[in-house]
A and B are shown apart, each in its own frame.
Chain A
Amino acid sequence: NAGVTQTPKFQVLKTGQSMTLQCAQDMNHEYMSWYRQDPGMGLRLIHYSVGAGITDQGEVPNGYNVSRSTTEDFPLRLLSAAPSQTSVYFCASSNVGGEAFFGQGTRLTVV
């Protein structure tokens, strides 16, 4: 029962470094998405995908890049980390109208 697997759980980056947050789902869901959670701001959509090869921007896409080469995987890349990207990141997958299944979250600190 893997569901959505998100790695790593914790990460500390220096300003300017790049990294990739991994996300994989085994439920054959069409939709995958990345959110960031900041205190008092709820979950804000960064990028999303409606299928392999198709991605689009959400509410807060700047500084992030995504790709979806397979149905299962949807990595999130931080191109040049900034302190403003310190946050908790969640990957999710879903089908039309269905509930979103979330990964365990990644707590990222940029110093």
Chain B
Amino acid sequence: AQKVTQAQTEISVVEKEDVTLDCVYETRDTTYYLFWYKQPPSGELVFLIRRNSFDEQNEISGRYSWNFQKSTSSFNFTITASQVVDSAVYFCALSEIISGGSYIPTFGRGTSLIVHP
């Protein structure tokens, strides 16, 4: 079973629209970490945010905001007033204890965001 589900395969918006990327995760651990990464067309993976399971405070960074809700096992990402430069594939990831007691991130399949001018 998928540990991290990003149900939206591709989202297309027009510049200046707000867009929310959904992420639903599955874990039995009480201690875990959640991440968002951005992969622009150039291919590198860029870290955006990290959240631990004990910190449900929402976070805002410029046009980016994240909503973490343990009750629904979701960690959604909103881009306000989207720009063409936001066009990328966005990955949500979960880091929990796996066999051997290690924390290794498991990634969702990604959401491709296309922002049209």
Contact = CB atoms under 8 A, between A and B. Distances in A.
A33 interface: yes
Contact of B108 (A35, A42, A102): A42
A97 B102 contact: no
B52 A97 contact: yes
Given A98-B50, A99-B35, A99-B47, A42 B99 contact: no
Given A99-B47, A104-B44, A43 B103 contact: no
B58 to A, nearest CB: 19
A23 B43 CA distance: 17
B95 interface: yes
Given A40-B109, A42-B109, A97-B95, A102 B45 contact: yes
Interface in A76-111: 88, 90, 92, 94, 96-102, 104-105
A1 B106 CA distance: 26
A97 B33 contact: yes
A48 B102 contact: yes
Contact of A40 (B9, B33, B43, B95): B9
Contacts of B106: 45
Contacts of A43: 91, 93, 107
Contact of B104 (A42, A58, A102): A58
B105 A100 contact: yes
B100 interface: yes
A105 B43 contact: yes
A105 B44 contact: yes
Interface centre among B35, B44, B50, B107 (most CB of A within 10 A): B107
Nearest to B31: A97
B104 A88 contact: no
B46 to A, nearest CB: 9
Contacts of A102: 44-45
A48 B109 CA distance: 19
Contacts of B109: 40-42
Which 9 pairs across A and B sit closest by C-beta, in order of nearness? A42-B109, A43-B107, A102-B45, A50-B102, A99-B47, A42-B107, A97-B33, A48-B104, A42-B110
